[in-house]
Each structure stands twice: as C-alpha cells, then as structure tokens.
Amino acid sequence: MRTKLKGLLTGMMVFVMMLAGALVVQAASGSVTFGSNSYTKTEGEEFNVGVYVKGDVNIATYKFYINYDADKIEYVSGADSGGSGRLSFAGTMSTDSGKYKKIWLTFKAKAAGEFTMSVTDVYLGPLDVANGDSLPVSKAGSAPITIKAAGSASGVCDLKSISIAETGFYGFSADKTQYDITVENKYEKLTVTAKAADSNATVEISDTTLKVGTNYIKIKVTAQSGDSKTYTVIVRRKAGTSGETTTPTEPTTPVTPPDIPGADDLKSYYSYNDKALYFIKSLDGVTVPEGFSKVNVTVEGEEYEVLTNSSGTIVLYYLVDSAGQNGSFYVYSNAKDAVYPYVVLNNSDNAYMVDEVANPQIPEGYQKVNMVIKGVGGAEEEVSVIAWYHEDAPNFYLLYASCNGGEPALYQYDVSENTIQRFNGIKGSTQIVEGTDDSEKVKDLEKKVEKLEKEKKSEAKTWMLVVIVLAVLCIILVVIVVALFYKMRDQMEYESYDEEDDNNGYADEDNMTVSAPRAEKKNTKSDYDDDDDFTFFDMDDDR
C-alpha cells in the first residue's frame, strides 16, 4: 500500500514541476552602447560615434535618446531627429538581424572641455511576446568625451578645388585623391590650378607637360603642422591621327569646332555639376544610340533635334560645353526639368541606363559622391554621375539604373572590372532616405513603434492571462495532492493500528498455559510453615 502511495505522489509531483517549469521565462535583456569607452578629439575635428543596439533575443522595435553637450560638440548626421544636446532614435529591426543594429553618428568638435555622452530612456520591444512587453536594459551606454584646444599649427591638408583651364575639371571631392581624364592630342601641356582648404597650407603641382599616353600630375598639399596629402590626376592624351601633334593657340573666347553641326548658335538651358551645357540644333554627324530615333522639340521658341526611344519614355538631349566641344547625350527629366548624363553599362545579357531618382534609398554607411565613368553612353570624355560608396569597399559604387528600359533600381558597379549587378542589400543594414523631411520620417517611425507596442501589450496581456490560469491550476493541483497525501496517510495509520491489535490478540492466546485441576486436600499441620502469619482472636474479649 505504501509503495503504491509513493508512486502516485511522485508522479503527481513530477507533473506539477513540469507544468510549473513551462511558466518559467528566461530573463532575456538588451543594451544600447557606444563603440568606444571614451573619445578624445581636437577643436574643429569631425568625428564618428558608433551606437550599437543589441539583444539576447530578436528585437522588433527600439526607442531611445542620446544626451550630449551642445556647447562642446556639434551634431552633424546619423540620428532620426533632434539636436541642441538631445538626439532621438526610433525604428524597427529586421528578423534577419534583429539581435544587432549599428547606428553611425557624426559630430564636429566645437570647444575645448570635457563632458559625458549618455544613452537614456531606452525601450526595446522583443519580437517574441513570450519575452514580455519590453526587454530589461542590461546597459545604457555612456562615454566621456574630451575636446582638446586646437594647436597653433593647423593639420588640415585637403584641397578645396582643382581646375584645368583647357578642358575643365568636374567631380572633385576633397576626400577623393585620384582622378582619371582623357584629353585630345592637341594638348601638350595643361594649366592646372589647385586651392587648399586651409589658407595656411601650401600647394605644389608637378610638371603638367603631356606625352601621348598616360601622364600623372601630382598635387601635394602640406598643412602648417607638416602633415601632407597628395592628389593624383591621371591624364590620358590621345594619339594624333597623322602621328604628329599640334600645339593649339590658347583661346580667349569659346571656339566653335567645325565638326559639330549647328554649334554656331549655342544656347544654354541646363547645367550638370555646375557645368553649363548647350544645345546644338542638328544631330547630323552624331552617332545615334541603338533603339532611339530623332525628333524635333521646341525649347523657348527654338527648335532642336533630340532623341527618344520607341516607347517615348526616354528623351535624350545632345549637349556640348561652352566651347562647343565634348558633346554627350543627357537624359531629360520632365519631372525636375533637369538633365543627367546618359550612361549605358553593358554586361553579357543586358544594358543598364544610369538613372536618377527623386528619393534614393541608400543603405546606412554609404557616402554620396560623383563617380566618373569613362567612354560610355556616347560620351567622348569622362561622365560624372551621382553614386554612393562605402569606405569598406572603395572599388564598388551604388547607383540607380534601369535594365533594358525597365523601372529604376539600385545596382552595384565594380569600377575595377567595369561590371554591374543588382544590389541585394547588406545584412543588418537599415535604409536611409535622402530628400525627405527628417521630422516626417521620425513621425512615421514613431507611429510604427507605437502600433507595435500596442500589439505587443495586447499579446502580453493574453499571455499573462494564460500564465495566471495555469498558475491557479497548479495551486489547486498542489492543494489536492497535499489533501490526498494526508488522507491516505491517516488511512494507512488506521490500518496499521488495526493490524497491530489483531496481531497482539493472537499472540496472547498463543502464550496461554492450560493446566488440569488439582484435587483438594485437607490441611495438615505440616502444610503450614512456621513463618506463616496467623491472626489470633482472644476469646475472652468476646465476653
């Protein structure tokens, strides 16, 4: 009986423990931290701060703020909104990379001093409602920042601009130190000027005499502190048709080349990258790209020949510079009344026309630049197009293009191999939208966060109700088990006592001795012992 009771109790307790174990939720947590424990910068220096959102489990939404000293540093970019000492962040995370997100902030040091940048008011909403309404925050980062006073000697060794008198120079960026251009054979020497970003820096330009083929013009900028940076302009001079070269007379007025029909009546209506562009009236002698045909258009009362594709969705203008040279096709955007270079990139199967969109969506971490593409789209000179690059992959650029006349999409261009392929994104990256108002973006993100918070609160309440019901059932089950235990224990004790009584009774009967009756015999004198006590009565007292 006892063995059966123990087995029953053991089984019920195991069941209760399993049920209770199902209610135990692992204590997952999250954090928002900085990439470095501290930062030391100099007045005037621009610097980056990495912010990392991490979770033990996937995070669906996040919301937090960063406080800083606006008197010491100036916010530049990277946050969803804010400034003047407080930045706001709100957004969602993808299921593929929901445990990790990096946000890249840019600041500029303003004044010497020290302060602590800190993360506050952190909310991390877990993707799985089983982890609760919000994750406990294991760490909200803080980092001391020291701004040093600028020394007497400047260390800025950037160029502000480069210009070439004979051909012009486009697509300059202070961060880009190498350029590649092609010039006609008639140019034996170029007039190159360069201006330093810091007036205290010095600029040295190497010899600009050109030989046929590849030439290198070096521009060295030396800062007041002694730091230096060298910019390189690769100049490819074409070979002469007769094997001879000619030295042109430097023009004082724009020259009309004889090989461009209609160039005697140039008018400028458009510009690209600050370069004035001019129409020519006739396209006679100009090679028409495949799939396009000539049509006439009227611009401000003047009639010009332009090109259009068979569907009429793409219009090309052939535009030249102020000297009537370097003609190239440009795509006309009716929505923006502007033009951008017509550039076609080909692979083995498709043709891709470089496009420009109103609100490009570019992954975080990419910088906007002017990329120079050579010898495409009917251009005889380099064509500068808007693109984006990442410092971790300098030979790959992102640009918008349309494949075989389709809708524009984001593509990746390999400048080393001149190949193009559809950009499929970077794992863990988030999209930033250029050309949109920050406040609208933040409001939209906050609405999404609030919606997800409400959904998760509702789901959390349902889950909590289930937990409470299961907990009550566990308590009831424990009470029943305890009551049953005491009841069965009492019953076992009663049966045990009854069993002992029965056993004792049988034992008394077993130990009884049965003896035969003895015959009564008369007492004799010898039957008494002298020591026996007797009571004697005095007969005289009765008298």
- DSSP for 163-174? EETTT------T
Nearest to 317 by CA among 354, 352, 283: 283
Tell whether 289 is covered by a domain. Answer: yes
Looking at the fold, whether 271 and 385 belong to one and the same domain comes out as: yes
Q: Give the model confidence (pLDDT) of 160-202 as tens digits.
A: 889 898 888 877 888 888 888 888 889 999 999 999 988 888 9
Q: What is the dihedral of CA 69, 73, 79, 82, to 10 degrees?
A: 50
What's the token pair of residue 227?
């730091």
**What is the distance of C-alpha 18 from the center of its chain?**
40
Tell whether 279 is covered by a domain. Answer: yes
pLDDT band for position 337 (cuts 50, 70, 90) = confident
Using the 3D structure, point to which of 433, 458, 492 is the last residue of a domain. 433
Q: Give the model confidence (pLDDT) of 290-318 as tens digits.
A: 888 888 887 767 788 888 887 777 888 88
Statement: the pTM of the whole predicted model exceeds 0.85: no
Looking at the fold, whether 144 and 269 belong to one and the same domain comes out as: no
Higher pLDDT among residues 349 and 132, named by residue: 132
Count structural domains, the chain.
3
Contact 112, 147 (CB under 8 A): yes
Looking at the fold, whether 111 and 232 belong to one and the same domain comes out as: no
pLDDT, the chain, mean: 74
Tell whether 316 is covered by a domain. Answer: yes
What's the token pair of residue 336?
């923006």
Phi, psi dihedral angles at 450 (to 5 degrees): -60, -40
Strand partners for 294: 307
Please report the pLDDT score of residue 144 as a whole number: 94
Nearest to 250 by CA among 193, 166, 326, 315: 166
Looking at the fold, whether 296 and 416 belong to one and the same domain comes out as: yes
Looking at the fold, whether 365 and 404 belong to one and the same domain comes out as: yes
Across 8-22, 115-129, 175-189, 526-540, least confident range: 526-540
Tell whether 498 is covered by a domain. Answer: no
The CATH number of residue 44's host domain is: 2.60.40.680
What's the token pair of residue 146?
């020291």
| Mean pLDDT of all residues in 406-415 | 81
Looking at the fold, whether 273 and 326 belong to one and the same domain comes out as: yes
How, if at all, do strands 202-205 and 228-237 pair?
Answer: unpaired
Specify the DSSP element, H or E, that contains 484. Answer: helix 438-510
In angstroms, rounded to a whole number, what is the distance separating the alpha carbons of residues 398 and 130? Answer: 40
Q: Give whichever of 92-101, 223-232, 502-511 has the largest mean pLDDT.
A: 223-232
In angstroms, rounded to a whole number, what is the distance separating the alpha carbons of residues 83 and 62? Answer: 19
Q: Give the model confidence (pLDDT) of 222-274 as tens digits.
A: 987 778 899 989 888 888 765 443 433 333 333 333 344 444 455 556 777 66
Angle between helices 2-22 and 438-510 (to 10 degrees): 170
Looking at the fold, whether 212 and 300 belong to one and the same domain comes out as: no
| Mean pLDDT of all residues in 448-468 | 72
Higher pLDDT among residues 319 and 231, named by residue: 231
Higher pLDDT among residues 323 and 462, named by residue: 462
In angstroms, rounded to a whole number, what is the distance separating the alpha carbons of residues 505 and 325? Answer: 133
Looking at the fold, whether 344 and 284 belong to one and the same domain comes out as: yes
pLDDT band for position 375 (cuts 50, 70, 90) = very low
Range of the structural domain that residue 227 is part of: 159-237
Tell whether 543 is covered by a domain. Answer: no
Residue 443: strand, helix, or coil: helix
Contact 40, 148 (CB under 8 A): yes
Helical ranges in 296-390 per DSSP H: none
Phi, psi dihedral angles at 16 (to 5 degrees): -65, -45
The sign one gets for the Cα dihedral 310, 314, 319, 325 is negative
Please report the pLDDT score of residue 470 as a whole number: 86
Using the 3D structure, point to which of 387, 403, 433 is the last residue of a domain. 433
Please report the pLDDT score of residue 269 as a whole number: 63
Please report the pLDDT score of residue 331 as a whole number: 82
pLDDT band for position 74 (cuts 50, 70, 90) = very high
Nearest to 307 by CA among 325, 333, 326, 289: 289
Tell whether 89 is covered by a domain. Answer: yes
Using the 3D structure, point to which of 118, 148, 178 is the last residue of a domain. 148
Tell whether 411 is covered by a domain. Answer: yes
Q: Taking 70 as the threshold, does the pLDDT of residue 23 lie above it?
A: no
Please report the pLDDT score of residue 86 as a whole number: 94
Looking at the fold, whether 286 and 393 belong to one and the same domain comes out as: yes
Looking at the fold, whether 281 and 404 belong to one and the same domain comes out as: yes
Across 26-40, 191-205, 508-522, least confident range: 508-522
Please report the pLDDT score of residue 148 as a whole number: 84
Looking at the fold, whether 358 and 410 belong to one and the same domain comes out as: yes
Across 312-321, 413-422, 491-500, least confident range: 491-500
CB-neighbour burial class of residue 479 (10 A; exposed 0-12, middle 13-18, buried 19+): exposed
Please report the pLDDT score of residue 267 as a whole number: 59
Looking at the fold, whether 57 and 115 belong to one and the same domain comes out as: yes
